[in-house]
Structure 1
Amino acid sequence: MKGKVWIAAVLGIQLLVSQPLGTATAAEAPAAPSIYVNKAQLPLQKEPLLVDQRTYITAEDAARIVQADWKLSAGTGVLKRSEKLSFTFDVNAGKVAVNGKWIENGQGALVRNNQVYLPLRWIVEQAGGSVVWNPEKKAVEIVSSTHDEDLVFPKEDQLTSDEKAYIEKVHKTQGIHQQGNLYVIARGESPNPGYSLKVTGTEWSWEQLRVFVKLTKPEPGMMYPQVISYPYLVVIADLSPYSTVVFLDADTKKPLFAS
């Protein structure tokens, strides 16, 4: 998962901030570019701007790229990714705050034709990523920070007595149960042991660890004792402060047990 590319943006070499522009005036980048989020194409709604060797995209495009919410009211715009990370832009003063703290050397928003534009590279780097140019793909890539965290499936002798007691308490109730960095993924009551759960993979999207869980069913032709069972998995995820974890159905890609 280290250094995993989550977004490749075909914005053209003009978007490289290392390319001298020779002027501080804003200019629209040629051709409406598209980006790729987890290999899915995501066209920008409006062309980016190049200002002082920096790339700016609309606040709405920025929100879609970094999976955040954007709200603008009375000259103040808020780009909120989670409870742990948000950006506040004073559009009139050109100031920006991260998590409520105003940044002295932060890059503020721009307004062009009544449209708010935000600095692409600065936002990505504040969110823990980096922007690089891939000469082979001829694309700008936004690369996630290195993650040393991984999903661990602890053995029983590695659990504390409190953790064992918690597992015993919740493992029969369907859902995702959390105690600290320990998660219990419980399927709930099943008619026989042929029903189970299996983690099929993980991936990082920004600072979110996505865990894909498959709800398996009895194999055709197999005989199982008709005994009520309560399938569950126990995992440990040691994540950095800005990271979160979400469990998804491996088949539907929707939140596990959403229905």
Structure 2
Amino acid sequence: MPEGPEIWRAADKLNIALAGEVIDDLFFAFDSLNEFKKELIGLTVEKVEPRGKAILTSFGNNLTMYSHNQLYGKWMIRNRGNVPNNNRQLRVAIHNEKKSAFLYSASDIEMLKDEEVENHQYIQKLGPDVIHPETTPNDILDRYRNEKFINRKLTTLLLDQGFISGIGNYLRSEILFYSGVHPSLKLRDCTDKQVQKLADATLTLSRRSYETKGITNDPEIVEALKREGASRKEFRHFVYNRTGSYCHKCGNEIQEVKTGGRKVYYCPNCQEK
């Protein structure tokens, strides 16, 4: 599933392609959306905004399209007249004079009135968005210090979009590693210093991933590995999806553990219990 950094980059590209442009054709795969087609053609897309792992496309007539990519959804942008060559199921296509935006494979798509957006069942539960420029370090630290989360296991808590929105599986492993926190711990087990490190890592790595197109590793480590001829898979992350490889910090072997059916990756030396 795309995480916050990927959703923000997708929204950036959609804004460049669609915002301020007049819609001259539309495709909706679902009958629940087709009733809006005639109303939307000829309107200007106002903006495309990420919210957690969802995207809101505002059309300027008191209507906003909510879409959540879930596991397999993907937006693709092409010059007008060009269509992506793939086997995915097309769900939405928005066309203007110069560009076309195609949403494939997503199934969670709704048309909302603007006043309904904040009360949407997904959006109303979101915690502070880790990528949003108005989210401050104190906003994130306050979440880690909030008593209602104190008894939660960190590996579960970090995936809860009501805690902090935008974190997914790779960011979870990377945040825990960068903080030096073992994946078996609950929030209540952490010292004040560890809590501060968790909050710092949450912002630092999420925004680094957004800015670098998915790289969470330290820039100096990345550059050193590139000089050695390492592949992107080898230099992209500290621990995520690197089971059996050496830790970039200490040289020990990266391990994995399953929690909630999903793997968490960690260094037993850098993340002692």
Verify same fold: TM over 0.5.
Answer: no
- After TM superposition, the score normalised by the length of structure 2 is 0.28
More helix by proportion, 1 or 2?
Answer: 2
Structure of larger gyration radius: 1
- After TM superposition, the score normalised by the length of structure 1 is 0.29
